[in-house]
Amino acid sequence: MTLSSRIFFSKTITLLKPRFLFYPFSTHHHKHDAVIHRFRFSVNQHSLLRDLNSVKDRPLAAFGLFRWAEKQSGFHGGYIFMRSVYRFMEKAIDAKIDGVVLDVLVTGAVRGGGGNNLEVSVKLLDLLLWVFTKKSVLEKCLRIFYKMIHNGLLPDVENCNRILRLLRDRNMMNGTKEFYSVMVVCGVRPTIVTYNTMLDSFCKQGEVEQAMELLYMMPKLGCDPNDVSYNILVNAWSRKRDFVRAKELIEEMLKLGLKVSAYTYNPLVCGYCEKGMFGKVDDLGVEMSDSRALPTVSTYNAVMDGLCKSGRVIDATGFLDIMESKNLKPDLVSYNTLIDGYSKLGHLREAFSLFGKLIKKNLVPNVVTYNTLIDGFCRLGDLDDARRMKDYMIRHGPHPDVFTFTILVWGFYKMGNLSMAKELFDEMQHRGLQPDCFAYRTRRVGELKFGDPSAEAFGMQEEIEAKGFPLDLITYNVVINGLCKLGNLDEADKLVQEMLYNGIVPDHVTYTSIIHGHLMAELLEEARDLFDKMKEKGISPSVVTYTVLIHSHAVGGMLNHAIAYLNEMENKDVLPNVITYNALINGFCKEGKMDEAYNFFRGMEKKGISANKYTYTILINENCNLWHWQHWQEALRLYREMLDREIEPDSCTHSALLKHLRKDYKSQAVKLLENVISGSE
């Protein structure tokens, strides 16, 4: 917003004039003059607005009033009546006379012969444009924009930027580029905001390289990139999980003396957290405090979410206190994140205790909070309580949404209660909620996975299709994956044929499912063939594809193959994750090659990928298998290390550790062990 327009909208308009008799405007409307003449106005804002209301159904009268306001604004130096005029524009749009207003303003400006009048007309056109950008009515904005420039009138660059943002948000890259060229050719001088919007458009389209080109071209275009420009690109590389390039840009920012902030670091923190690279997150934390880019509540929320997603909910909860100690107030998102963490683990008691805590802190649970808890009930198979909670929401609010119902529908499908699933789906619609693609997919997957592929389900498919949601790739993937997991490779193959027939191209997820299915059926050669076929078709294998291949080959003792896959993925910049490393460590342990296993263990940590309970269990198990004093010591050391790092062992870890003890001693032994370890600190 320019300074002047800020003045327009912040000033309260109190200027009063005695009375004002309205006179019509240009001559070609004179046959309606009689209508317009009947309007008299006292000149203060309230009556003006009242009058605008009263003429809403009479476009021409309203238009006359508008002309009057226009003259007033010109007369009083341009800002006195802007707020009224703004309200008028909104009303004109409601009354669908904005087209007339546009025409007259443009012709008025053109005929008016320049000067003050022209300036006012352009201001008013900009105001009209502003109203439409605020309403996100792109089509109208473009119409006004093009009409203006065709008549030699230049819209305000701020409005152009707003239109660019609308184009960006609709992913219309070509439209964005075209609009940018037109505005520049017509003489609108781009600002840093224009360029930053363009950068963001490129990034949102995945064309980050193009954005980089623009970034480095900006100085030549007479506009040096600022911190926001860099933040956009750091964000883009982080989203692409190319952390190296993201970091390079941050270093460049520091070198250039640009301001780094939480906005710069948060996307990177999010990326590392999502990948479970908590070592890197720690490093970033240090770097942030060094460069005075202090973490915000969002930063901590991202870390907490990452920890929850890797099962470290207790660590995540610890951040509530850490935040408080730094004078940051955990917000509803913080609590929702933790509640979700506990709900997903089935620890509803903790989830509800947090629910109580957030209320004590005067935060108000929202629909997400409730949905998360309902999901927790569903995961435990407690559909009664899940449904009761939904009914509570209907009575007391917040009102259930499409998420609420989708969660419940899926919950009932998983319990095999198809009729309740359908009932809730119908209830959602009866309550006026419009199912989205998630909801429809859930219904389809539910029927395909848990129901009979009967005629009724078939009818449902057509019904959904008629609503504009055709069977899509994700639905096929979900079902194909389910079949592969059950070992039903023939049925899975049939579905692949069917999706091809329907013109849907299998992607890396489809292939990974089928490859995995073959691997589990010990059809390694076929799996390798499928892998080659997938690459021939130009489908890039993902980290999951490589991981399932590495796992099966490593477990089968084919360590050379496993290593070859690891090298291949690293050459293709597909980053291995903790599961990939676990598969390798597991394979090398099984072959008794402990040195190599430990090398991978150290290597992953060096890359910032933290070991998890599986990693430790594999190593502990192998050390215990060796059944030798030194190895037993090593197993204990590992166990202690994982406790130190607050990685919670589970029953698997314990039985690995105590595999040589008799069963009756085991539970006692675990307690003893905890004592020994904590006592020796």
Partner DNA sequence: TTGAAGATGA
Q: Which residues in the 210-269 window bind DNA by CB under 7 A?
A: none
Kindly state the number of chain residues that form the binding site for DNA, as judged by CB under 7 A. 71
Contacts of 360 (CB under 8 A, 6+ apart): none
DSSP type of residue 468 = T
Instruction: Rank residues 183 and 339 by Cβ distance to DNA and give the closer one.
Output: 339
Which amino acid is present at 551?
H
Verify binding: residue 447, DNA, rule CB under 7 A.
no
Among 436, 529, 641, 674, binds DNA (CB under 7 A): 436
CA angle 445, 521, 620 (to 5 degrees): 100
Q: Between residues 196 and 580, which has the closer beta carbon with respect to DNA? A: 580
Q: Which of 35, 60, 380, 474 binds DNA (CB under 7 A)?
A: 474
Q: Could you say which residues in the range 397-426 bind DNA, by CB under 7 A?
A: 401-404, 406-407, 410
C-alpha 428/C-alpha 658 separation (Å) is 51
In the bound complex, what is the minimum distance in angstroms from residue 651's beta carbon to DNA? 7
Does 544 participate in binding DNA (rule CB under 7 A)? yes
* 587-626 positions binding DNA, by CB under 7 A: 612-615, 617-618, 621
The vertex-89 CA angle with 83 and 93, nearest 5°, equals 150
Q: Return the residue of 72, 161, 545, 610 that touches DNA, per CB under 7 A.
A: 545
What would the x/- binding string for DNA be over residues 127 to 166, using CB under 7 A? Answer: ----------------------------------------
Of the candidate residues 36, 284, 445, 464, the single one contacting DNA (CB under 7 A): 445
CA–CA separation, 202 and 320 (whole Å): 37
Q: How far apart are CA 34 and CA 406, in angstroms?
A: 59
Tokens read off for 524? 């390694």
Using alpha carbons only, how large is the chain's radius of gyration in Å? 32
Specify the stretch interacting with DNA by CB under 7 A; choose among 112-120, 218-226, 546-554, 563-571.
546-554
Query: Binding to DNA by residue 547, rule CB under 7 A?
Result: yes
Q: Extract the tokens encoding 477.
A: 């993937």
- What distance in Å separates the CA atoms of residue 605 and residue 288, rounded to the nearest whole number? 21
Cβ density class 359-380: b for 16+ within 10 Å, e for less = eeeebebeebbbbbbbbbbbbe
Structure tokens at 234: 């750091």
The stretch near DNA (CB under 7 A) out of 45-53, 460-468, 525-533, 649-657 is 649-657
Calpha distance 421→444 (Å, rounded) = 11
Q: Which stretch binds DNA (CB under 7 A): 99-107, 108-116, 190-198, 643-651?
A: 643-651
CB of 547 to DNA, least distance (A): 4
> Scanning residues 187 to 206, which ones bind DNA (CB under 7 A)?
none
Contacts of residue 13, defined as CB under 8 A and 6 or more positions apart, other chains included, come to 45, 80, 81, 83, 84
Query: Does position 184 bind DNA by CB under 7 A?
Result: no
Give the residue, chosen from 162, 168, 551, 553, that forms a contact with DNA under the rule CB under 7 A. Answer: 551
Of 166 and 609, which CB lies nearer to DNA in the complex structure?
A: 609
Going by C-alpha positions, the residue among 461, 451, 383, 384 that lies closest to residue 419 is 451
Cβ(214)–Cβ(199) under 8 Å? yes
H/E element, 17: strand 17-21
Provide, rounded to whole angstroms, the least separation between the CB of residue 527 and DNA: 12
Smallest gap from residue 490 Cβ to DNA (A): 19
Nearest residue to 393 (alpha-carbon basis) of 407, 379, 411: 407
Residues 476-535 that bind DNA (CB under 7 A): 477-478, 481-482, 485, 508-509, 512-513, 516
Residue placing its CB nearer to DNA in the complex, 80 or 421 = 421
Choose between 231 and 406: whose C-beta lies nearer to DNA: 406
Joined together, the tokens standing for residue 242 give 């190319």
CB nearer to DNA: give 253 or 339: 339
Binding mask 267-306 for DNA (x = CB under 7 A): ----------------------------------xx--x-
CB-based contact 168:201 (threshold 8 Å):
yes
Least distance in Å: CB of 445 to DNA? 6
Amino acid at 130: W
